[in-house]
Amino acid sequence: MSLALSEAERDALERWLTELGALRGRAPNTLNAYRRDVAGFLDFLSRHLGGPVGLRPLADLSQTDLRAWMAHERGRGLSARSLARALSSVRNFLGWLSDREGAEATAALSARGPKYRRKLPRPLAEDAARAMLDEVGAEARADWIAARDTAVVTLLYGCGLRISEALSLPAAAAPLPDMLRIRGKGGKERLVPVLPAARSAVDRYCALCPFALDPAAPLFRGARGGPLSPRLIAKAMEGARHRLGLPASATPHALRHSFATHLLAAGGDLRAIQELLGHASLSTTQAYTAVDAARLMDVYEAAHPRA
């Protein structure tokens, strides 16, 4: 079904997205999600209000209009978490639009989103993480594929990389330096120390890889020489976790959680871990590292001058 958007609405939506991409460095996947959220909202309004809405009236929408849209989204099966994300996109767009149209969007921007329980990360235990690194390549069909899978998961656990960050490394990154420059979400760069184990794992993969590793091409390759799909790493970890008796939560992203949690447990500073992970908010890092109240009290008592 085509979306009932006016030309003015489509133009405003694209200008907003262009600004987010150019000035704020939003990733393409993020921009696509914003486009779906806001276009769906505008389409609902046109049907709800009997036709496409002008740009000025958009900035003057009421909380009742927002609540009607949220009820519609929940009615078609959207989860509370997904709706909260969509509402965030819509608020961002309406705020941007009100600045340009000189309207007051306070009523719409103050609409409350649905409550949902945020799922806390489930890191692997230290022995389970080490076992995963040893086991992930055990049933690969070729030695170089086993070395490849081991190298990737070692980067996830040893450096705290996202799977997308590991797979976007160019071949020019090998041999890995002492400090790896990573471009993460939103185009933000950070420096990540490289452990000897990670460097050795990547070196072994490079020595066995049957394809020419052109410096500008992806470092990690699929069986036919193309860029490696993250699904293949997830599948290799799925097989390894079955053999090791680990839960379904033992995924590639869980290794990043484990990196942060194990660093904190060993006495790492929460702010430093925030920098290593590339988190904008310390509260995100706190949730990420499975920080409990007892651990926070230990940090407080050790650091506070009056403790």
What is the reported pLDDT for 95?
A: 83
Would the pTM count as exceeding 0.85? no
CATH number for the domain that contains residue 232 = 1.10.443.10
> Which among 26, 162, 221, 257 is annotated as catalytic?
162
Q: pLDDT category, 1, cuts 50, 70, 90?
A: very low
What is the reported pLDDT for 307?
A: 45
Q: Does residue 298 lie within any of the structural domains?
A: no
Q: Does residue 141 lie within any of the structural domains?
A: yes
What is the reported pLDDT for 160?
A: 85
Out of 78, 109, 140, pick the residue that ends a domain.
109
Q: 């193309």: which residue's tokens?
A: 226
Provide the token pair at 157: 């656990």
What is the residue-averaged pLDDT of the chain?
81
Cα dihedral 34/169/219/180 (nearest 10): -160
Q: Please indicate, yes or no, whether residues 131 and 74 belong to a single structural domain of this protein.
A: no
Q: Please indicate, yes or no, whether residues 84 and 193 belong to a single structural domain of this protein.
A: no
Flag whether pLDDT at 211 surpasses 60: yes
Q: Does residue 95 lie within any of the structural domains?
A: yes
Q: pLDDT category, 278, cuts 50, 70, 90?
A: low
> Which among 91, 185, 204, 295 is annotated as catalytic?
185
Per the structure, how many domains does the chain have? Answer: 2
H/E segment holding residue 166: helix 163-167
Cα dihedral 6/10/12/18 (nearest 10): 180
Least confident segment among 36-40, 50-54, 60-64: 50-54
Q: Does residue 300 lie within any of the structural domains?
A: no
What is the reported pLDDT for 174?
A: 93
CATH number for the domain that contains residue 68 = 1.10.150
Q: Does residue 302 lie within any of the structural domains?
A: no
Q: Which domain holds residue 105?
A: 7-109
Q: Please indicate, yes or no, whether residues 90 and 51 belong to a single structural domain of this protein.
A: yes
Q: Does residue 187 lie within any of the structural domains?
A: yes
CB 194 within 8 A of CB 179: yes
CA nearest neighbour of 269 among 303, 220, 227: 303
Q: Does residue 282 lie within any of the structural domains?
A: no
Q: Please indicate, yes or no, whether residues 97 and 41 belong to a single structural domain of this protein.
A: yes
Active site residue 288: yes
Q: Please indicate, yes or no, whether residues 86 and 199 belong to a single structural domain of this protein.
A: no
> Which among 199, 221, 241, 279 is annotated as catalytic?
279
Q: How far apart are the first and last CA of the chain?
A: 63
Higher per-residue confidence, 266 vs 115: 266
Q: Please indicate, yes or no, whether residues 95 and 144 belong to a single structural domain of this protein.
A: no
Q: Please indicate, yes or no, whether residues 159 and 201 belong to a single structural domain of this protein.
A: yes
Q: Does residue 285 lie within any of the structural domains?
A: no
Long-range contacts of 10-16, Cβ-Cβ distance < 8 Å, separation of 24 or more: 12/55, 12/97, 13/38, 13/39, 13/42, 13/93, 16/93, 16/96, 16/97
Q: pLDDT category, 205, cuts 50, 70, 90?
A: very high
> Which among 26, 190, 241, 256 is annotated as catalytic?
256
Active site residue 253: yes
> Which among 74, 253, 262, 295 is annotated as catalytic?
253
Q: Please indicate, yes or no, whether residues 151 and 186 belong to a single structural domain of this protein.
A: yes
CB 206 within 8 A of CB 213: yes
In tens, the pLDDT along 247-275 reads 888 899 888 888 888 877 777 666 777 77
Q: Please indicate, yes or no, whether residues 180 and 244 belong to a single structural domain of this protein.
A: yes
Q: Please indicate, yes or no, whether residues 131 and 222 belong to a single structural domain of this protein.
A: yes
Active site residue 162: yes
Q: Please indicate, yes or no, whether residues 102 and 131 belong to a single structural domain of this protein.
A: no
Q: Please indicate, yes or no, whether residues 137 and 248 belong to a single structural domain of this protein.
A: yes
